[in-house]
Amino acid sequence: MSIPKTQKAIIFETNGGPLQYKDIPVPTPKANEILINVKYSGVCHTDLHAWKGDWPLDTKLPLVGGHEGAGVVVALGENVKGWEIGDLAGIKWLNGSCMSCEYCQKANESNCASADLSGYTHDGSFQQFATADAIQAARIPKGTDLAQVSPILCAGITVYKALKTANLSAGEWVAISGAGGGLGSLAVQYATAMGYRVLAIDGGDEKGAFVKSLGAEVFVDFTKSKDIVKDIVAATNGGPHGVINVSVSEAAVSQSVQYVRSCGTVVLVGLPAGAKVIAPVFDSVVKSISIKGSYVGNRADTAEAIDFFSRGLIKCPIKIVGLSELASIYELMEQGKILGRYVVDTSK
Ligand code: NAD
Ligand code: ZN
């Protein structure tokens, strides 16, 4: 394919400023990078946090967001090995790291102090052509539906890694808090495929029916429950062995510390602005609970998460709209109204 000089993108110049759908130059891959013709990109709540400037880490500005981009390799930097034009590739959150620090050596590249982040410190997948570090770009098997696979590239990898972090055994209970959203709807399915019993927490009847259709055994509605801790402990006969917090709610995180089973693990994934975990020291000690942060996943987690998808164990519940409509997706996301994941088609 001939690579055009300009392309459509959504770009913003200030945090919270206008999301402009316009023509911008097609980037040139550096020596270590591939150029991907992004066909579809999932829209993650992280993209909304990045646009709003919610976190104590600056974004580049102006910025093209997006980090769940699935597409086709159209150009290779001069040092790139192991990729060919026409291969299917994914843009994920971690776009590059130093590869030599203690964390990179141990395959914890997302913890590298100089990690380069798609849609945050590096222009991401809300454009038709995006660059990705050849080492970190995700390998997508030939013949894969690119719209369907796109949410795996952040949401799927992240929840799969978070479930591994919870260190559960088959047959144990895991609570997914924020189960009806983008990460949650995949977490319910990965947890089911990994043999765990799922208690899903979110708000509203529609989300309840939705998470049950994905494999949740029990649904607890945080908008209706009068005592959520009591209800969850009762439904799981003593509390879930693990909790995956993917809601954007500070209160929900602190509740999870209370309802988790003794010797269980609370995994922190969602990143509400300025939030703190409130964990009573006495209960945490006497119940011997673990509270762990989990941040995306490494290359092995990526390959494994994609493999679950390729084997048909995970179906991404997506709604596809044009890239030009990104602002309206952010509005729905802010209101907690999205079931599953929105995916943007970069051609519209
Ligand atoms: P989303 O908006 O699609 O889903 C959030 C869900 O939480 C919604 O369904 C909402 O109804 C539900 N919710 C809100 N309040 C709740 C409450 N009190 N109890 C239970 N559920 C509640 O968001 P998403 O794209 O799934 O992202 C979720 C969070 O995870 C964001 O903060 C995002 O930045 C973060 N994230 C973290 C990582 C990581 O590596 N740690 C990776 C990706 C995303
Ligand atoms: Zn994400």
Domains, the chain, with CATH or none: 6-152+297-345 (3.90.180.10), 157-293 (3.40.50.720)
Nearest-CA neighbor of 333 among 129, 145, 63, 54? 54
How many whole angstroms from 45 Cα to the centroid of ligand 1?
A: 7
Ligand 1 contacts CB of residue 296 (under 6 A): yes
Beta-sheet strands, E only, within 92-183: 94-96, 116-117, 129-133, 138-140, 173-177
SS3 313: coil
Ligand 1 contacts CB of residue 177 (under 6 A): yes
Cβ distance 278 to 62 under 8 Å?
A: no
CA pair distance 278, 270, nearest whole angstrom: 15
Cβ distance 138 to 92 under 8 Å?
A: yes
How many whole angstroms from 247 Cα to the centroid of ligand 1?
A: 4
Q: Using CA positions, which residue lies closest to atom 27 of ligand 1?
A: 45
SS3 320: strand
How many whole angstroms from 245 Cα to the centroid of ligand 2?
A: 14
How many whole angstroms from 237 Cα to the centroid of ligand 2?
A: 33
pLDDT band at 272 (very low <50, low <70, confident <90, very high): very high
pLDDT of 107 reads 96
Task: Using the structure block, give the residue that is written with the tokens 């088959």.
Answer: 170
How many whole angstroms from 311 Cα to the centroid of ligand 1?
A: 26
CA pair distance 160, 204, nearest whole angstrom: 25
- Flag whether pLDDT at 259 surpasses 80: yes
Average pLDDT score, the chain: 97
Q: Which atom of ligand 1 sits closest to the CA of residue 251?
A: 18
pLDDT of 295 reads 97
Structure tokens at 102: 């203690």
CA pair distance 227, 261, nearest whole angstrom: 16
pLDDT band at 189 (very low <50, low <70, confident <90, very high): very high
Ligand 1 contacts CB of residue 91 (under 6 A): no
* Torsion sign over Cα 213, 215, 216, 217: positive
How many whole angstroms from 198 Cα to the centroid of ligand 1?
A: 17
Ligand 1 contacts CB of residue 161 (under 6 A): no
Nearest-CA neighbor of 335 among 181, 120, 227? 181
Averaged pLDDT, 245-256: 97
CA pair distance 46, 52, nearest whole angstrom: 10
Beta-sheet strands, E only, within 48-148: 69-76, 88-91, 94-96, 116-117, 129-133, 138-140
Ligand nearest to the CA of 267: 1
Ligand nearest to the CA of 225: 1
How many whole angstroms from 288 Cα to the centroid of ligand 1?
A: 26
Interval 143-167: pLDDT, tens? 999 999 999 999 999 999 999 999 9
Ligand 1 contacts CB of residue 219 (under 6 A): no
Structure tokens at 207: 């989300």
Ligand nearest to the CA of 341: 1
Structure tokens at 65: 């967001």
Residue 113, sorted as left (phi over 0), alpha (psi -120 to 50) or beta, turns out to be: alpha
Phi then psi for residue 174, to 5 deg, are: -125, 135
Q: Which atom of ligand 1 sits closest to the CA of residue 43?
A: 25
pLDDT of 15 reads 96
Q: Using CA positions, which residue lies closest to atom 12 of ligand 1?
A: 178
- Flag whether pLDDT at 1 surpasses 80: no
Ligand 1 contacts CB of residue 222 (under 6 A): yes
